[in-house]
């Protein structure tokens, strides 16, 4: 079983050799039926053969075309705050991927701490979830988390995130690449938000923009960065980024794009003694958390560092010894904010528009 980093090494072509080439060939063969199935599914919605359900209030979808790791949760938080500041009762609707026994998943736990006043309905049937959000909580606008591929629920604005570090899914649909569906599906986007825009140069940003807008020429374009702010401990206390300056830390994560987290740690000035990756939405059994604590101690780490999404799941079982902190970042829209906000304002000002 390949981990997230190993999988990307393989499908990107960075892993070389006969065995790697053979594995890519096998994955390419598996890509064909998956890609065909996605095209047929989209054709059914495009031609009206598959039913689309309206929520009765404006729906803003936050999604992407690649597998995980584009930073949807901070964007959902940014949108919910933006709407709340304008006096709108907003509700968040998501599938609840990775949730166990009906409990909130990691994104829901994170958003509940950051947005305690915003209701979040998790339901595998997001049409039903939207109905609950409006009827039970009186939500006037819904933010649909990870909704680009969920076409049963009518949306008024599709905001598609593009990771500047992996914009095109290595040009292949899963499992040969990291695309959830062909890049031609960008045509459905009403707006693009290039995330981690600060981690590539201007020429790269322009190339990504030109390619995306060639598929969806009327879409709004904006760019954003995730800016490290502080270190958050297990008790909720915050500490300056330089708290462990010059001291080695052990970092781990269970997210879709662990390499991006590693880069964020380095940008924050943290010195990595060791780095461990786990599957996206990892459940963190208690025994695994204990082992992570022992691992951090074995590499003489001054602290163990994870993402906020990981912290909410492991802090209750974290053993004494090496302190545990999360790197807390905020989303900053660095370009195109006025155009994006104007488009969003139009949507919430004209319910039911498309």
3-class DSSP assignment, residue 48? coil
d(CA 180, CA 64): 8
Confidence of residue 1 (pLDDT cuts 50, 70, 90): low
CB 109 within 8 A of CB 94: no
Q: pLDDT tens for residues 318-352?
A: 998 899 999 999 999 999 999 999 999 999 984 43
CB-neighbour burial class of residue 240 (10 A; exposed 0-12, middle 13-18, buried 19+) = exposed
Give the pLDDT confidence score for residue 351 in this predicted structure. Answer: 41
d(CA 79, CA 58): 13
Confidence of residue 10 (pLDDT cuts 50, 70, 90): very high
Class of 59-225+332-349 per CATH? alpha beta
Residue 354 has pLDDT above 70, yes or no: no
| Pure H helices in the chain | 4-11, 18-46, 72-85, 106-114, 126-137, 202-215, 258-267, 286-298, 308-314, 337-349
Residue 136 has pLDDT above 50, yes or no: yes
66-70, 116-120, 198-202, 284-288: lowest mean pLDDT where? 66-70
* Partner residues linked to 232 by β-bridges: 238, 326
**Average pLDDT in the 49-69 region?**
93
Domains of the chain, by residue range, sit at 4-46, 59-225+332-349, 227-330
User: Would the CATH topology of 59-225+332-349 be identical to that of 227-330?
Assistant: yes
2-11, 16-25, 299-308: lowest mean pLDDT where? 2-11
Give the pLDDT confidence score for residue 98 in this predicted structure. Answer: 62
In this structure, the chain runs to a length of 354
Is the model more confident about 258 or about 58? 58
CATH value of 227-330 in 3.40.50, 1.10.3680, 1.25.10, 3.30.70: 3.40.50
Put simply, whether the predicted model's pTM sits higher than 0.85 gets the answer yes
Give the pLDDT confidence score for residue 267 in this predicted structure. Answer: 87
Q: pLDDT tens for residues 263-322?
A: 899 989 999 999 999 988 888 999 999 999 999 999 999 999 999 999 999 998 999 889
Give the pLDDT confidence score for residue 102 in this predicted structure. Answer: 67
Q: pLDDT tens for residues 157-206?
A: 999 999 999 999 999 999 999 999 999 999 999 999 999 999 999 999 99
Give the pLDDT confidence score for residue 352 in this predicted structure. Answer: 38
């Amino acid at each position: 079983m390949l981990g997230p980093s190993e999988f990307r090494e393989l499908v990107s072509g960075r892993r070389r050799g006969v065995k790697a080439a053979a594995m890519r060939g096998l994955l390419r063969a598996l890509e064909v039926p998956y890609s065909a199935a996605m095209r047929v599914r989209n054709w059914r919605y495009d031609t009206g053969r598959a039913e689309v359900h309206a929520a009765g209030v404006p729906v803003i979808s936050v999604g992407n075309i690649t597998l995980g790791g584009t930073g949807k949760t901070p964007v959902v938080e940014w949108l919910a705050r933006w709407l709340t500041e304008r006096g709108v009762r907003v509700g968040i609707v998501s599938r609840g991927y990775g949730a166990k026994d009906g409990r909130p998943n990691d994104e829901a736990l994170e958003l509940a701490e950051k947005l305690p006043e915003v209701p979040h309905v998790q339901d595998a049937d997001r049409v039903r979830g939207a109905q609950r959000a409006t009827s039970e909580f009186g939500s006037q606008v819904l933010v649909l988390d990870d909704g680009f591929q969920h076409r049963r629920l009518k949306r008024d604005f599709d905001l598609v995130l593009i990771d500047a570090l992996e914009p095109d899914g290595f040009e292949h649909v899963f499992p040969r690449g990291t695309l959830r569906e062909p890049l031609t599906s960008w045509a459905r986007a009403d707006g693009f938000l290039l995330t981690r825009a600060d981690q590539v140069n201007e020429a790269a940003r322009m190339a990504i923009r030109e390619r995306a807008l060639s598929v969806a020429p009327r879409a709004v374009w904006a760019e954003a960065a995730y800016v490290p702010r502080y270190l958050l401990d297990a008790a909720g206390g915050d500490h300056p980024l330089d708290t462990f300056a010059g001291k080695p830390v052990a970092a781990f994560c269970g997210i879709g794009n662990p390499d991006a987290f590693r880069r964020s740690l380095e940008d924050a000035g943290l010195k990595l003694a060791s780095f461990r990756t786990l599957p996206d939405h990892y459940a963190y059994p208690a025994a695994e958390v204990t082992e992570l604590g022992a691992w951090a101690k074995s590499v003489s780490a001054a602290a163990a560092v994870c993402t906020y999404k990981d912290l909410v799941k492991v802090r209750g079982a974290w053993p004494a010894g090496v302190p545990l902190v999360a790197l807390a970042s905020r989303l900053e829209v660095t370009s195109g904010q006025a155009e994006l906000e104007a488009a969003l304002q139009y949507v919430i000002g004209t319910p039911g528009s498309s």
